[in-house]
Structure 1
């Protein structure tokens, strides 16, 4: 039997799980357990978001004992959510600690997101990031900060505090370049502040499948043969061009000075990699986005699909940058407004996570009342 996930790892793609729950942490030898996925599926990282937590807490009784204790203490629903989620993240960090140690801190990371209601507020985001870092208290934590306009200075300020950051909700190439600028500035300030910058990690989460979903909708509305022929190409092309932008930065002089001081590069992370259109291969956003020093965070369904029938033909990004540029140009040529698409996706992404956070709060409130 082939080991497709092992081959993917050998090609330079870190395999991360896009899911977390108390059930995964307590499942022991079950095939769904995080520890089992680490041992058998080459998983070296974990990401979470408000939607994942809303689902985990809403459909499980694994949190009941902690919920009872929180109710006895009379905590607010906001504090209860923070205690429940940081407990899971801290536990997951401990499960992933061997991968963290084995990779000199590059992998073995677990991500927790700042309150999405703060997406357009810089100072509260910084304060929230610092509090989460303190609450979890594990060196292999990532604080997820959205790449909104208000998020950019928060990213710099958080890194400057010596805190590792997963920048999330990136859709546009222009915003990704701004994210890399914010990351470099954060490392420069961290160095000036006396932090050991070799200990500060960062990834930049570029969302994939949502891009195709929105672009395809617009292409079908246009309806011409040229427009319809471009369906299913935009997301991969966009991500490939993001990798090209990453290469430009890590080959530049500004990064060279930080590298000489011990810093590690910010890796592109491919997020939202489960295909939403059943007409597309279920491994599309894994097979077409293979390159060294990248991360692919997958839902378990996608991970299992790739383990079963995924292929690793080698680097599928670097040699395809020109064709990716042509695909994005083709979108504009048939009338798709790229800037409008990425602006919409950012707003929509923030709104969806905000709705999930409110769902999480409501669910915890109901469980506190029942406890």
Structure 2
């Protein structure tokens, strides 16, 4: 039996993806249980998730030992370990993928974040990851940097499905949608079936509040503090407005008639950072048809326990959302400065996590080699 709260969220048109993956989650059967009981229909990963899994998981020991015996270098070992996890998770979700025509049942794996400013390197890595995982329901994750936009287009043009990550600004989101449509137009020219290509655009939510709240606190007035916890949701709601506009355009209709599926908005960074906020607010305040919400386990469990779904909480809110961002601007807080800072910090965090992952695997390889 599905949980009533997560079922209500699914019924409202939100696809629930888990923002977590480990080999233990797969081999223990816990991932299957989440699908059966909590309406989880996909998984996203990132370097931070893999670093945590490798650090804490005993289930990687035998593979690490084999890789050590073979003399595998650390980069190749990380590639082998992470792609194996994603391949196995794709297999767990294969039935869901078939049942939804590939829309759900998807698992994401990210290109090496050290390549985020390297267009050619990102394209090459995306192809390599796609070939190694070798599952139709994998998403290759590419950050929405300026350099990443061209890589997104080129990867889609090869018929490879893409999860565009680290989107903070409305302007960049428009550029991401353009890169997506351009990729599909090129894929069509290249002879790929558009119905087989899928994409999501990961729009980050809570990190926007974290940074803007910090600046509002520094201002310190009652008027400033009254805006805390509002900008992230307002920003995401206005992204959905852009989604509605762009995917009802004439340009999109041409692609849709050729079998293309829209690039769905995905709400990322949905765990609440400020404990004074409701722990499900980045879920229940962003309910709209055709979106994905990727939740860390803690947020999913909160939703299971007490999340209340009251229907669409996005579509009728655009005027209010604009007022929130205007009010933040009136406090002297630069939206452009905030989103640019968040992108840089996001990339830096992923590189730090990737280096942590490399360090963990290097230590494990060294230990295995000494046994």
TM-score tier, shorter chain, comes to: over 0.9
Instruction: Tell me what 1:144 maps to.
Output: 141
2-side partners of 1:326 and 1:99: how far apart?
40
Q: Secondary structure at the match of 1:236?
A: helix
1-side partners of 2:125 and 2:66: how far apart?
24
Q: How do 1:100-179 and structure 2 match up within 5 A?
A: 100-179=97-176
2-side partners of 1:5 and 1:17: how far apart?
12
1:320 is the counterpart of 2:317:
yes
The structural deviation recorded for 1:61 is 1.2
Instruction: Tell me what 2:15 maps to.
Output: 14
1:93 is the counterpart of 2:94:
no
1-side partners of 2:3 and 2:260: how far apart?
35
Q: 1:253 aligns with which of 245, 250, 270?
A: 250
Instruction: Tell me what 1:352 maps to.
Output: 349
The structural deviation recorded for 1:2 is 6.7
Q: Is the 8 A contact 2:3 2:37 kept in 1?
A: no
Q: 1:289 aligns with which of 257, 276, 286?
A: 286
Q: 1:264 aligns with which of 261, 285, 309?
A: 261
Instruction: Tell me what 1:58 maps to.
Output: 55
Count of residues in Structure 1 that have an aligned counterpart in Structure 2: 367
2-side partners of 1:160 and 1:245: how far apart?
23
Instruction: Tell me what 1:183 maps to.
Output: 180
Q: 2:233 aligns with which of 236, 244, 262?
A: 236
1-side partners of 2:356 and 2:3: how far apart?
41
Instruction: Tell me what 2:24 maps to.
Output: 23
The structural deviation recorded for 1:39 is 0.8
CA-based RMSD? 0.8
Q: 1:276 aligns with which of 273, 277, 280?
A: 273
Instruction: Tell me what 1:71 maps to.
Output: 68
2-side partners of 1:53 and 1:243: how far apart?
30
2-side partners of 1:59 and 1:46: how far apart?
19
2-side partners of 1:233 and 1:325: how far apart?
11
Q: Secondary structure at the match of 1:211?
A: helix
CA offsets 1:216-240 (integer angstroms, 9 cap, x no match): 0011111122111100000000000
Q: Secondary structure at the match of 2:294?
A: strand
CA offsets 1:46-95 (integer angstroms, 9 cap, x no match): 00000000000011111010001101111110000000000000000000
1-side partners of 2:265 and 2:318: how far apart?
15
2-side partners of 1:2 and 1:130: how far apart?
38
Q: Secondary structure at the match of 2:163?
A: strand
| Uncovered stretches (5+) of structure 2, i.e. residues with no partner | none
Q: Secondary structure at the match of 1:144?
A: strand
| Uncovered stretches (5+) of structure 1, i.e. residues with no partner | none
CA offsets 1:259-292 (integer angstroms, 9 cap, x no match): 0000000000000101010000000000000000
Instruction: Tell me what 1:38 maps to.
Output: 35
Instruction: Tell me what 1:208 maps to.
Output: 205
2-side partners of 1:303 and 1:359: how far apart?
26
1-side partners of 2:26 and 2:338: how far apart?
38
Instruction: Tell me what 2:363 maps to.
Output: 366
The structural deviation recorded for 1:307 is 1.0
Q: 2:327 aligns with which of 315, 327, 330?
A: 330
Q: Secondary structure at the match of 2:146?
A: coil
1-side partners of 2:247 and 2:177: how far apart?
10
2-side partners of 1:353 and 1:58: how far apart?
16
- For normalisation by structure 2, the TM-score amounts to 0.98
2-side partners of 1:292 and 1:56: how far apart?
32
2-side partners of 1:218 and 1:282: how far apart?
22
> Structure 2 vs 1, CA of residues 157 and 228 (structure 1 numbering), >3 Å: closer, same or farther?
same
Q: Is the 8 A contact 2:3 2:39 kept in 1?
A: no
CA offsets 1:305-324 (integer angstroms, 9 cap, x no match): 11111111110000111100
